[in-house]
Structure 1
Amino acid sequence: MKLLVTGGAGFIGSAVVRRAVAQGHSVVNVDALTYAACLDNIEVVADAPGYTFEQADIRDAAAMAAILKVHRPDAIMHLAAESHVDRSIDGPAAFIDTNVTGTYVLLEAARAYWTEAGKPTDFRFHHISTDEVFGSLGETGFFTEDSPYQPNSPYSASKASSDHLIRAWHETYGLPIVLTNCSNNYGPFQFPEKLIPVVILKALSGQPIPIYGQGDNIRDWLHVEDHAEALLLVLEKASSGSSYNIGGENEMTNLELVQMLCGILDRLRPARKPYAEQITFVTDRPGHDRRYAIDPTRIVEDLGWHPAYTPETGLEQTVQWYLDNEAWLNALLARDGVGERLGAAK
């Protein structure tokens, strides 16, 4: 297929681009190159046959229409988004502007393109979202595709809004869509404002490793390569109007995760004392969701997908990648907000 991927220079988007090119798809990568984007993430495919990069903002209606007219993709995979909860607490406007307005602009451009093409039934608009739209779980239970939406942060509220737009354009205009909601991603090329690269960065620099509250918030961790594989599988095989939750089936508390990372670092890059001694508990994030966990039964039964990485194999591979790519990491340290405590506003 010929795919248009938005946000393809970001963390998850670049994993999708790399895998799609490796699978033989043609890819048009559309990215505005905001603070969290990095062209090094897709350097390996930069000269690949069938790969094209377009620097453009999804909020620019004229640019989106022109790119669709020129490249005429078979499908759109929409990953471009503001995604850091802490930043959304400090500055929610950017999240509404990009995640809601940007999605609306892209949807309208896609609808016009699809209509002009004669409304082909095999066209797909694949919207990639998050399990955070469902809110917070208690000690038991799992998010399913039928869970009610209860977003608790400006970020998750903006993604919930974009999910609703996707559904509405399908129901009202017939636009062929698929929707996926994923759990917390990790892996190579993740921008160093998210928990795992922050832990690695702080540990190696000898600084305190910050953990919100008591570290007892629980997340389901999904390796980005497992996620990219699932996204392309959904795009190729899912029926129009369907939705799938994608989870790694790897629940652990934030404290357990950080302790595991410290143990891996102790083996791979020993220091004078255990890295876990740098762990420091800091004031919790406002509105911090207690627990996320996904039931992936639908994608397993319908499409035969299973995550390949366990926490042990995935975290070891991730830590080793950061140790082997410190130049990539260090190049991003001067970017806005890296190394600062964000999202503490009350």
Structure 2
Amino acid sequence: MILVTGGAGFIGSNFVLDWLAQSSEPVLNLDKLTYAGNLENLASLQGDARHVFVQGDMGDRALVERLLAEHQPRAVLNFAAESHVDRSIHGPEDFIQTNIVGTFRLLEAVRAYWSALPEANKTAFRFLHVSTDEVYGTLGPNDPPFAETNRYEPNSPYSASKAASDHLVRAWHHTYGLPVLTTNCSNNYGPYHFPEKLIPLMIVNALAGKPLPVYGDGQQVRDWLYVRDHCSAIRRVLEAGQPGQTYNIGGWNEKPNLEIVRTICTLLDELRPRADGRSYREQITHVADRPGHDRRYAIDARKIERELGWKPAETFETGIRKTVQWYLDHPDWVQRVQSGAYREWVQKQYGR
């Protein structure tokens, strides 16, 4: 069995679904079910004995210790995190508590469990920590993409909290010998993405006839990674990654935000045309940029390809089409995830 934290969130739930589609090995899924955790993402696993769900906090050390003792997982994969930059600007304390304190407590529970394992199990055990490219800071237009050797220069409360968690994971390996793996990924997109992030927000707002809010000039560049490619990379790192190593995971898809929004509009014009026959591009609205907005991220994913033989299966063109189609096919999921609290948040963030 493997233990996954944050397995009801966007990336975590995609990972759990993909894992159980390809493996008979059970998953113990621990998720706090905050605003971004959604059990409906895992509805297809209802009644599947391979999926054991526990609602709880990775920072609850007593709970984690009990689960480790009861289920004896061979690996722990840490997806659990507060992950939205805008939310971290408005309320950084949750990010400190979850991403730093929560990771510390999880590491301590896992270290105690790992230390007591029989030698063969101890050698085979892995702790895989899922992180972000934002820990590296921002890039200039002509800078090379982020490599694993780049120094950390986080610029938001979110990225600073993730950088701190990465440092803790590294220290627990070098100090205690815990066999850790760290992955730093670029911007993910795909099914089950909570509609406050750029791509799902644009799809949902476009269909609702609402403005498509683009920060500043929209020329902020991100490297886009289809979520199921990310999941396959994590499986490969868990399978063959070297303890203590970091692997950057990217999609080789650098795109300005404005181009992303226009691409979504073009796809919707084709797949779900507006009743008046006009383009969804007319709904694009530029809003004030957010504080400290990093200008460019890009991942150099050559190490994971060279050492582990992984590279993404999707281009941006194939991945974004699948994503837009998924949202068109799942209006009930979108409607249910858009709670009153979510609408209040979008108004707070993007309204005047």
Task: Please say whether Structure 1 and Structure 2 have the same fold, judged by a TM-score greater than 0.5.
Answer: yes
1:248 aligns with 2:247: no
Name the SS of the counterpart of 2:298 in structure 1: coil
Give me the whole-angstrom Cα distance separating, in 2, the residues matched to 1:65 and 1:179: 22
Aligned pairs for 1:154-193 within 5 A? 154-193=157-196
1:43 alignment counterpart? 43
**TM-score, with structure 2 as normaliser:** 0.96
In the alignment, what sits opposite 1:320? Answer: 325
Q: Which residue of 1 aligns with 2:115?
A: 115
| TM-score, normalised by the number of residues in structure 1 | 0.97
Question: Residue in 2 aligned with 1:32?
Answer: 32
> Could you tell which deviates more after superposition, 118-127 or 203-212?
118-127
Cα deviation, residue 297, structure 1: 0.4
Following TM superposition, by how much is the alpha carbon of 1:118 offset from its aligned partner in structure 2, in angstroms? 3.7
Q: Give 1:42 shift.
A: 1.2
In 2: Cα distance, 1:56 partner to 1:301 partner: 38
Letter in 2 for 1:210: P
Aligned to 2:3: 4
Cα contact 1:86–1:342 (8 A) shared by 2: no
Task: Give the 5 Å matches for 1:180-219.
Answer: 180-219=183-222
User: Aligned partners of 2:46 and 2:233: how far apart in 1?
Assistant: 23
The count of corresponding residues between Structure 1 and Structure 2 is 344
CA distance in 2, matches of 1:79, 1:343: 25
- CA distance in 1: counterparts of 2:47 and 2:309, whole angstroms: 33
Measure, in 1, the Cα distance between the counterparts of 2:15 and 2:305.
20
Deviation for aligned residue 1:117: 1.1
1:49, distance to aligned residue in structure 2 (A): 3.5
The one-letter code of the counterpart of 1:42 is: L
How far 1:139 sits from its partner (Å)? 0.7
Letter of the aligned partner of 1:72 in structure 2?
Q
2:289 matches 1:284: yes
Aligned residue runs from structure 1 range 9-28, under 5 A: 9-24=8-23, 25-28=25-28
SS across alignment from 1:80: coil
- Aligned equivalents of 1:341, 1:103: Cα separation in 2: 31
Change (3 A) 1:67 1:196: same
The superposition leaves residues 295-338 of structure 1 with CA deviations (integer Å, 9 ceiling, x where unpaired) of 10000011111111111111111001001101000101115344
Structure 2: segments with no counterpart, 5+ residues? none
**Aligned amino acid, residue 295 of structure 1:** D
Give distance in 1, aligned partners of 2:223 and 2:46.
32
Q: Which residue number corresponds to residue 127 of structure 1? A: 129
Counterpart residue type for residue 328 of structure 1: W
**Counterparts in 2 of 1:294 and 1:153: CA distance versus 1, 3 Å:** same
For the residues of structure 1 that align with 2:348 and 2:155, how far apart are their CA atoms?
17
Alpha-carbon contact 1:144-1:296 (below 8 Å) kept: yes
2:149 is paired with a residue of what secondary structure? coil
Does residue 302 in structure 1 map to residue 307 in structure 2? Answer: yes
Q: Secondary structure at the match of 2:321?
A: helix
**Structure 1 residue 343: Cα displacement:** 5.6
Unaligned runs of 5+ in 1: none
Find the aligned partners of 2:179 and 2:118 in 1 and give their Cα distance: 13
Quote the Cα distance in structure 1 between the aligned partners of 2:135 and 2:311.
23
Q: Which moved more, 1:334-343 or 1:80-89?
A: 334-343
- 2:152 corresponds to 1:138: no
SS of the aligned residue for 1:121 comes to: helix
Q: Which amino acid is the alignment partner of residue 129 of structure 2? A: H
Q: How far apart in 2 are the matches of 1:343 and 1:267?
A: 30
State the partner residue of 1:88. Answer: 88
Q: Secondary structure at 1:340's aligned position in 2?
A: helix
Q: CA deviation at 1:132?
A: 0.2
Counterpart CA distance in 2 for 1:219 and 1:160 is 19
- After superposition, the CA RMSD in angstroms is 1.3
Aligned to 1:147: 150
Give yes or no for contact 1:152–1:289 (8 Å, CA) kept in 2.
Answer: yes
- C-alpha change, 1:306 and 1:240, in structure 2 (3 Å) is same
SS at match of 2:123: coil
How much does 1:342 deviate?
5.1
Distance in 1 between the 2:266 and 2:50 partners?
A: 42
Q: Identity percentage over the alignment?
A: 55
